[in-house]
Amino acid sequence: MESILLLFTFVLAIFLGFELISKVPSTLHTPLMSGSNAISGITIVGAIIAAGAIGEGTISVVLGTLAVTFATINVVGGYLVTDRMLAMFKSKEGDKK
Amino acid sequence: MRESLTQIVYLSYILASVLFIFGLKMLSSPSTARKGNMVSAVGMLIAVLATLVHQDIIGYQFIIAGLLIGTAIGAIAASKVPMTSMPEFVALFNGFGGIASLLVGWAEYQRILTAGVDIPIATSLPIFLAILIGGVTFTGSLVAYGKLSERISGKPVLFGAQQVVNAVIMALVLVLGLMFVFRPETNYGSFIVVIILSGILGILATIPIGGADMPVVISLLNSYSGLAACAAGFVITNTVLIVSGSLVGASGIILTKIMCKAMNRSLTNVLFSGFGSVGSAKGADVQGEANPITPDDAYYVLESASSVLFVPGYGMAVAQAQHVVRELGEILEKNGAEVRFAIHPVAGRMPGHMNVLLAEANVPYEQLVEMDEVNPSIETVDVAIVIGANDVVNPAAREDESSPIYGMPIINVDHARTVFVLKRSLASGFAGVDNPLFFKPNTRMLFGDAKASIQALVTEFKES
């Protein structure tokens, strides 16, 4: 039953994603990609659990630690570079501030 | 106590998901986008902090090590990367997301094996999907990174039995995958082979795709990295992974669709035939006299123009001309003209790339307009200035049915009153197609280096 509920969540989230993303103007498509890339680093949650579950086997901890590293690069780098890009988008009125 | 802690963790995940959704919603306007990105980052922070109190976590040393190393690499890379290299940067990071999801799936499989309990299909199937999608995303992204950063040739690599080889590998993945899914406890070998084959599949799927089609590929890999996170979410039955992964997956699919439409090609066409390697059709031969113009005369035309439209292509960024172009735009605006920049969806090397490059040169975002916005009123434009763009303004896409780019949506600059084309010579564009725009009666060719030509115009304005 649990997997059906997860599947249900998945399907609804896909629809929500389509609605949200189709409203993003093409001007912002590059920041959208790097920003959503950072969001896909959410896999860090699974990675942290695997890396912290010491005592359940060395291999899974090693794999988990590697996963934490990669996912963190993805998250930190993704958000920072998106912020750097979006900071450059200035309005005409913004110049006067 | 333990019960309520678990509940708090799950409530935090709901909060994180809501923040991701709000963050993406705020990306719908450049004025709120930066805040949106921060909202999304706060969501991620909450998700990470909540996970740290998870009941399975006993030791923190490896988590902290991973977090520190990852943060250092990510932060340095993000602050160093130049805006022109954004496509390969995003490609590489997609790959990291993919490998992370693969590793999460693998670690969980390993953990359950060690614990010695039965693995239900509801777990083994998503493990298979996580390693498959994650593996394809990882190596595919590395190849895309190599091509975009020109570390490897951007030309499509095609070999004879390619389709057959791909089909065989796919079949193998499927057979071994099914064996693993139904008997995960005893099929460690097939599991490892599936990981290796996924990696090979990612490489084989990306090498036949040409450099010009890379925007489609990174959009698609973006989607895969989200779906891989989704699969990892099913493995560890965690909703925040599923929700965020689906949002990213949907985003990548939409961008892929937009890119394909802008190139008038189907996804299958992009994925399975190297552009330029098949097309022998050159389109009708274009003959005629191109009318050159000097910066001096161009200045007089611009001086009296009341509406100017810049149409930049990636060539402008290669010449690093965006800063002088912005300067010319400001001068024209002071002179009373309406100045806009029309941007074709495939103008840069990834969706929206050109906008970022112009924003970096301080062009206000109100001046950046989309193709569909500018085309209906293009007749009222006095001067359209084409800089480093070619195929996206080629009227053959509209008029010449034998042209390989026929049907591709273009910016109809030839309908403007006057068109200036800044170009070194009359050579054809990326797609190797002749451009009849150069020979239209209302077109004037401003030959020479784009940056120098614009600079000359700026000087003319300043001296008068």
Q: How far is A96 from chain B (nearest CA, A)?
A: 12
**A12 pLDDT exceeds 90?**
yes
Check pLDDT > 80 for residue A55: no
- Given this model, what pLDDT does residue A96 score? 41
B49 reaches A (C-beta below 8 A): no
Residue B101 has a pLDDT of 97
Facing residue for B249 by CB, picked from A14, A60, A90: A14
Position B1 scores a pLDDT of: 63
pLDDT over threshold 70, residue B383: yes
Question: Is B51:A43 a contact under the CB 8 Å cutoff?
Answer: no
The C-alpha of B133 sits at a distance from chain A's nearest C-alpha, in angstroms, of 13
User: Hey, are the CB atoms on A40 and B99 less than 8 Å from each other?
Assistant: no
The rounded distance, in Å, linking the Cα atoms of B13 and B7 is 10
ipTM for the whole complex? 0.94
pLDDT of residue B211: 75
Tell me the sheet residues that pair with B429: none
The closest CB to that of B246, out of A14, A28, A65, belongs to A14
User: What pLDDT score was predicted for residue A97?
Assistant: 37
Q: Which tops the pLDDT comparison, A48 or B404?
A: A48
B313 touches chain A (CB under 8 A): no
Say yes or no: A21 contacts chain B, CB-CB below 8 A: yes
CATH number of B295-463: 3.40.50.1220
Query: Given this model, what pLDDT does residue B231 score?
Result: 96
Q: Does B44 touch chain A (CB under 8 A)?
A: yes
Asked whether residue A95 is assigned to any structural domain, the reply reads no
- CA distances B442 to B291, B384, B417, Å, are 9, 10, 7
Domain membership of residue A18 (yes or no) is yes
Q: Which of B118, B285, B391, B400 is catalytic?
A: B391
B32 or B431, greater pLDDT: B32
List chain B residues with CB under 8 Å of A32.
Answer: 24, 27, 251, 255, 351-352
**B366·A91 Cβ contact <8 A:** yes
Task: Calculate mean pLDDT across residues B349-368.
Answer: 91
Closest Cα partner for B178 from B121, B236, B98, B235?
A: B121
The model's pLDDT over B67-96, given as tens digits with 9 standing for 90+, comes to 999 999 999 999 999 998 999 999 999 999
Range of the domain at A82: 2-89
Strand ranges of the sheet holding B338-343, from the earlier edge strand across to the other edge: B368-370, B338-343, B307-312, B383-387, B418-423, B443-447
Mean pLDDT of the region B187-210: 93
Break chain B into its structural domains and give their ranges: 1-80, 84-280, 295-463
- pLDDT of B38 > 90? The answer is yes
Backbone angles phi, psi at B309, to 5 degrees: -125, 120
Q: State the pTM of this model.
A: 0.90
* Average pLDDT across chain B, whole number: 89
B391 included as an active-site residue: yes
Tokens, residue B222: 């973006």
Residue A16 lies in a domain: yes
The domain tally of chain A equals 1
In whole angstroms, give the CA distance from residue B354 to residue B388. Answer: 12
Name every chain B residue with its beta carbon within 8 A of the beta carbon of A96: none
Please count the other Cβ atoms lying within 10 Å of the Cβ belonging to residue B98: 34
Position B204 pLDDT exceeds 80: yes
